[in-house]
Amino acid sequence: MIDYKLFRNFDTCPEGRGTLLYIKNFLEPKEAYFSSKFNEGVFAEIALNNSDVILVSVLYRSEAGHHSGPENNDGLNDLLTEIKEKKYSHILGMGDINYPLIDWDTWLAPGVDTRENKFVQCLEDNFYFQHVDQPTRIRGTDRPNILDLIITNDDNISDLEYESPLGKSDHRVMFFNVNCYAVLRNVNRTGFFYNKAD
């Protein structure tokens, strides 16, 4: 992946798991850091026109293991609030958030003080959009669920497509466009003039 910059957090995931993000080098992405105590996420900033910046992140909220539990659930909500307070012009967060009980058609979650309800409230309080509206995890006789989310601070996602899972995964692959205005920089490449050859 020579044309891409890799962002990863494998060092902080003792269970051999982790999150990664590839971004094209010509966009000149820079790693971003946040103080909120959420364990599995990677973050990159990309400069746009007129001094605007988009934050791109990949998040994973585990249901089991070392990084699960109420502190990490609250940490995700704190992180989303902290990101919003940084006043990025564009925010794109994607990942496996693992909240199957949320009804994304109505934005309703069971209970008042549940982790699902707190998450929905966090998105609403920070005026986030959530774009996924079809099940992303389908396995055997299990009820299909929306576990993977695309979260933004504006309605700038288009052409969202749901494809079959990759390899042995039971999560669907999603393709979509983010409508923004990245600064396109000239990239120097070595080329050959074949028409000048003997």
pLDDT score for 10: 62
What is the Cα–Cα distance from 198 to 195, expressed in whole angstroms? 8
Amino acid occupying residue 18: G
- Residue of 9 and 131 predicted with greater confidence: 131
What is the Cα–Cα distance from 56 to 172, expressed in whole angstroms? 20
CATH at residue 83: 3.60.10.10
* CA-closest candidate to residue 56, choices 9, 23, 26: 23
pLDDT score for 158: 95
183 DSSP assignment:
P
pLDDT at 15 over 70: no
Three-state DSSP class for residue 75: helix
Burial class (CB in 10 A: 0-12, 13-18, 19+), 94: buried
pLDDT score for 191: 66
- Rounded to 5 degrees, what angle do the CA atoms 151, 59, 159 make? 40
- Residue-range definition of the domain harbouring residue 158: 4-196
pLDDT tens column, 27-86: 999 999 999 989 889 999 999 998 899 999 999 998 865 567 889 999 999 999 999 999
Strands 90-96 and 53-60: parallel
- Residue of 112 and 15 predicted with greater confidence: 112
pTM, to two decimals: 0.86
What is the Cα–Cα distance from 116 to 80, expressed in whole angstroms? 14
Q: What tokens does 31 get?
A: 């790693």
Confidence class of residue 104 from pLDDT cuts 50, 70 and 90? very high
Buried b (16+ CB within 10 A) or exposed e, 16-52: eeebebebeeebebeebebeeebbbbbbbbbbbeeee
Confidence class of residue 168 from pLDDT cuts 50, 70 and 90? confident
- Structural domain tally of the chain? 1
With a CB cutoff of 8 Å and minimum separation 6, the contacts of 146 are 100, 102, 104, 132, 133, 134, 135, 136, 137
pLDDT tens column, 117-127: 999 999 999 99
